[in-house]
Amino acid sequence: MEGLLNQLPIGLSIAAVLLLIALGLTFTFGQMGVINMAHGEFIMAGAYTAYMLQDWAGAQATAVALPVAFALAGGMGWVLERTAIRHFYGRPLDTLLLTWGVSLVLQQAARDIFGAPNVQVVAPSWLNGRIEVGGTVLPYNRLFILALAIVCVVGIWAYMNRSAQGRRMRAVMQNRELAACSGVATARVDQLTFFIGSGLAGVAGVALTLIGPVGPSLGTYYIVDAFLVVVAGGLGQLRGAVIAAVALGMLNSFAEFWTNASLAKVIVFGAIIAFLQVRPQGMFVLRSRALT
């Protein structure tokens, strides 16, 4: 029973990382129909940002890297959208192939710059401890990841519901043509959405340095699970992404406890397939005026 309870913080931290990754995907996929396979490499870029800042910031590299990784990964996403993806809107399969090619290029670039072996980022000393609550051991680093995800979700919710730019984003997601006729600069909204989504991937990369090593293939380990969160939660749905990320993270953690990592993946995939047979549109459906 004690071992089962200790899976709780592991599951929540995995869910938090999946949520950070899926937040960007759910908006770019839901708003622009872009299947961005290079999103995983933006995670990798964020993780390597923390690694590179180690020499300068020392053990505080994680805290320093969060805003830097957001800006760097967001900038990479903005450049990708401006130079390539904007020419393929409305062609999801073409964007899938395009971004997959970009992801391979970025992975090879990381191998050329940092080498193929994994590297380690030293966590701050104030994240090395743990507390025990009711027999459950809660490591500080996993609590930090959970808190980081909560801050990002609250920030995105406030942005979408309390700012003019966020309301324009929601309008474009519901009906791009009607939003454009109403004077919304949809191209500018797309750029900003891509920047924010990619930036969140960079933040997720920094968070991952707290629970494992950094390597050129870091993002590929999480990108498929993140897409599963997006599909299960419903396109463009913030609350759906939150619920789906928690469900998948906890299911994966407890399945690994009872079986092993490979069989746990099979169980998660099976659960998602069974769920989509019942609700192919995901947990929540985006309200749209497209048919009016």
Place of tokens 């919304």: 184
Work out the angle between the directed axes of helices 39-57 and 61-83 (0-180°, nearest 10). 140
**pLDDT for 70:** 94
What are φ and ψ of residue 250, in 5° steps?
A: -70, -40
186-208 and 61-83 helices, crossing angle to 10°: 150
Q: pTM of the predicted model, to two decimals? A: 0.88
Note down pLDDT in tens along the chain; length 292 residues: 666 677 777 888 888 888 888 888 887 776 777 888 888 899 999 999 999 998 887 777 888 899 999 999 999 999 998 998 888 877 878 888 899 999 999 999 999 999 889 998 888 888 888 888 777 778 888 889 989 999 998 998 899 888 998 888 888 887 888 888 888 888 888 889 889 989 999 999 999 998 889 999 888 888 888 888 888 887 767 788 888 888 888 888 888 888 887 888 888 888 888 888 888 877 777 665 554 4
Cβ contact 232:248 at 8 Å: yes
Q: DSSP for 81-130, please give it.
A: HHHTGGGGTT-HHHHHHHHHHHHHHHHHHHHHHH-SS-B--PPPGGGS-E
Burial, 99: exposed, middle or buried (Cβ in 10 Å; 0-12, 13-18, 19+)? buried
Angle at 102 between CA 63 and CA 40, to 5 degrees: 40
Helix 186-208 to helix 2-32 angle (10° resolution) is 160
- Nearest CA to 190 out of 173, 177, 204, 213 is that of 173
Q: Where are the chain's structural domains?
A: 1-278
CB of 77 closer than 8 Å to CB of 42: yes
What is the second-level CATH architecture of the domain 1-278?
A: Orthogonal Bundle (1.10)
- Tell me 133's DSSP state: E
Reported in sequence order, the residue ranges of the chain that DSSP labels E, i.e. its strands, are: 130-133, 136-139
Q: SS3 of 285, please? A: coil
Q: Which element (helix H / strand E) includes 168?
A: helix 164-174
